[in-house]
Structure 1
Amino acid sequence: MARRGGEGGDGRTGGGRADRRVGGVIGYEDVKGAAGRVAGRVRTVAVAPARPGVWFALEFLQHTGTFKARGALNFTAAQLEAGEMPAAGVAIASGGNAGLACAWAARAAGVPATVFVPETAPPVKVRKLRGFQADVRLVGQEYAQAADEARRWSARSGALLSHAYAHPLIAAGAGTLMEEIHAALPQVDTVVVAVGGGGLFAGVAASAAEHGVRVVAVEPEGCRALNAAVRAGEVVDVPVASVAADSLGARRVSEDALGWALRGDVRPVLVSDEEIVAARRRLWAEHRIAVEHGAAAASAAIDAGVYVPAEGETVCVVLCGANTDPSDLTG
């Protein structure tokens, strides 16, 4: 039997959602404000049919290769507008993609960027970071260690500390993607997104709620920060171990992400590493799309039957990043 997202039985889904509401989450007005800042400066997402009832949002075609460019641009533009950008520029910790976006947006604005990444970050991402003229610091084995060093550096240097996901300007910028999906595909009922720290999810959920669209929030079994937070009713730390950990390996989700998981039309689901790898290979074999494992997680939810669309439902799967080495893809 297909495993439907949100149903109990196999321990892989979010289970019963708490009734309490988390205050302070970003709202639709934040996303609309971000849309004004990034208009004409990001690539409008293209949508393409994958099979009957299922579409792909090709966000991996975005500047820097991921959706992260949206949040980084919104963050930088808002700080410059407010006159709050220091001479030391910006600092950020990242598994790679958020750092790339931060460095790209900073270079466009003419400000310095210092990016802290784990020593385990994919070499392809480190090379791209240096190509954006960022000062790259390799620290520790996990994102949390890089984040600690970024905070210390910001305090010492005066650099403005950005965040890979847990900042309202970052999340709101990411939510502009949903605005574009809805404009291109107004009949969409459900959008499927991969979740790491929850910046993309929170922004998308804030926009989706305005348009009456359900969000399926997909995590690897070994990186289940949102799933665990929903079960606990509060943000909690989780272990990280997944083939997609370089982009989805946050130890905890943002409060914005948990807030929208508890208040929106959201269905949290989990996929296995095997399902992610299979989905990534299928995207290449059938569509000649090469994405990173984190992006393939969203597609895995549909491919593996973790979320089964209803009859007549229109689903859009966000393929959110392509900063990967495609040498392991064959066929």
Structure 2
Amino acid sequence: MTISRADIETAHARIAPHIRRTPVWSLPRGFGYEGPVSLKLEYLQHSGSFKARGAFNTLLSKSVPNAGVAAASGGNHGAAVAYAARQLGIRARIFVPEISSPAKIAVIRSHGAEVVIGGARYADAQEACDRFVAETGALRVHPFAAEETIAGQGTVALEWERDDTPLDTVLVAVGGGGLISGVASFWAGRVKVVGVEPEGSRALHASLEAGHPVDVDVNSVAADSLGARNTGDLVFSICREKVDHVALVTDEAIRQAQRLLWSDWRMAIEPGGATALAALASGAYKPKAGERVGVLICGANVELAKLSQDTVL
């Protein structure tokens, strides 16, 4: 199964009345690179991350039963599903692991969803969600391994292309891989798409190395948003064909990118949201001279108290 450019265009027409068209910030140079950099400021999206796109596309594409919808999430996907469900008048139950940040859980609850906390990792929350769906018939909204989710996330690239000059390369953070699958599906063969994963949470990198989806251990500062243990078959098949490669970054590089975004630009960004920038700022991705690089800043649900441990707020 593939996701086409036409699928993404259709998804955008469907969700456009419900999402924000987030801005693009074009810089002549920056973040240690002397060439042009384009930032897609998707952290300004409803619910604080790009996830609202996939959530709305799923809920507007599917028949929702009386039991409502259910989702497992490290935080951002749950917040997006909760927000979209509230806007569309749908009941939502969100399952989150114990590692989810209080800030993200608070966002989910603020949108009126029921939150169930349990299990050490995302996989535990997913198992609990699956049991609930089997028992009640609720519609499961998967955070990455679903066609509707991927097509919705791909609308980020559609807007970016329409709102800025052509890009040579885009850097995209990877957790389960729904976002990069959508972006790469839209730009296939026209723009180089590079995934960025933490060294301690590298499901896509490991799967591409192995030649098939594999389970990985997860231990990263960005685990609550980039903590999927396995990409699944759909994401893997898309990324194997359409993603150029995956760059790995350290947790310290991610923290440094967070500090840079706050100290220089006053952007309060969560670790997962700063991961793509970490590849450029740390040199994990080295552009060629004059290469026009796009960086997706994808999430802002950060605990300010934690951010302030390394920066002056």
Fold shared by both chains (TM-score > 0.5): yes
Quote the residue 2:283 is aligned against: 305
5+ residue gaps, structure 1, are: 1-23
Contact map agreement 1:26 1:256 (CA 8 A) in 2: no
8 Å CA contact 1:30–1:172 kept in 2: the answer is: yes
Is 1:236 the equivalent of 2:214?
yes
| AA partner of residue 324 (structure 1) | V
> Any conservation in 2 of the 1:35–1:176 contact (CA below 8 Å)?
yes
The aligned counterpart of 2:21 is 44
Amino acid at match of 2:113: A
* 2:37 is aligned with 1:54: yes
Instruction: Name 2:269's counterpart in structure 1.
Output: 291
Partner of 1:26: 3
Once the two structures are superposed, the pairs formed by residues 1-331 of structure 1 within 5 Å of their partners are: 24-50=1-27, 51=29, 52-79=35-62, 84-209=63-188, 212-327=190-305, 328-329=307-308, 330-331=311-312
Higher relative contact order (CA 8 A, sep 6+): 1
Q: Where does structure 1 differ by over 6 angstroms across 4 or more consecutive aligned residues?
A: none
Q: Distance in 2 between matches of 1:39 and 1:229?
A: 33
Provide the identity percentage: 45
The structural deviation recorded for 1:130 is: 1.0
How many angstroms does 1:45 deviate by? 2.1
- Is contact 1:117-1:139 (8 Å) kept? yes
Unaligned segments of structure 2, at least 5 residues:
30-34
What displacement does 1:68 show?
A: 0.0
Given residue 62 of structure 1, which amino acid in structure 2 is its aligned partner? Q
What is the distance in 2 between the residues matched to 1:200 and 1:181? 14
Give the corresponding residue for 2:32: none
Task: Compute the displacement of 1:30 (Å).
Answer: 1.9
Q: Is the 8 A contact 1:213 1:265 kept in 2?
A: no
1:44 aligned counterpart, secondary structure? coil
Deviations 1:106-143 (A, max 9, x none): 11111100000012210111111111110100011100
Tell me by how many angstroms 1:295 deviates.
Answer: 1.1
Q: Distance in 2 between matches of 1:25 and 1:233?
A: 18
Amino acid at match of 2:178: G
Deviations 1:276-307 (A, max 9, x none): 11111011111111100001110000001111
Scaled by the length of structure 2, the TM-score of the pair is 0.94
Structure 1 residue 256: Cα displacement: 3.0
Cα displacement string for residues 79-125 of structure 1 (whole angstroms, at most 9, x for unaligned residues): 1xxxx210011000000100000011111111100000012210111
Q: TM-score, normalised by structure 1?
A: 0.89
Comparing 315-324 with 259-268, which one deviates more in the overlay? 259-268
Letter in 2 for 1:42: I
Q: Quote the Cα distance in structure 1 between the aligned partners of 2:212 and 2:10.
A: 28
Amino acid at match of 1:40: P
* Paired AA for residue 117 in structure 1: V
Alpha-carbon offset, residue 186 of structure 1: 3.1
Paired residue secondary structure (1:48): strand
Q: For residues 187-234 of structure 1, give each alpha carbon's deviation from its aligned partner in whole angstroms, at most 9, with x where no partner exists.
A: 211111000000001000001116x01111000000000001101111
Whether the 8 Å contact between 2:2 and 2:238 is mirrored in structure 1 is: yes
Partner Cα distance (2:289, 2:165) in 1: 18
Structure 1 position 309, deviation (Å): 1.1
- In structure 2, give the amino acid aligned to 1:75: T
CA contact (8 A) 2:255 2:271 kept: yes
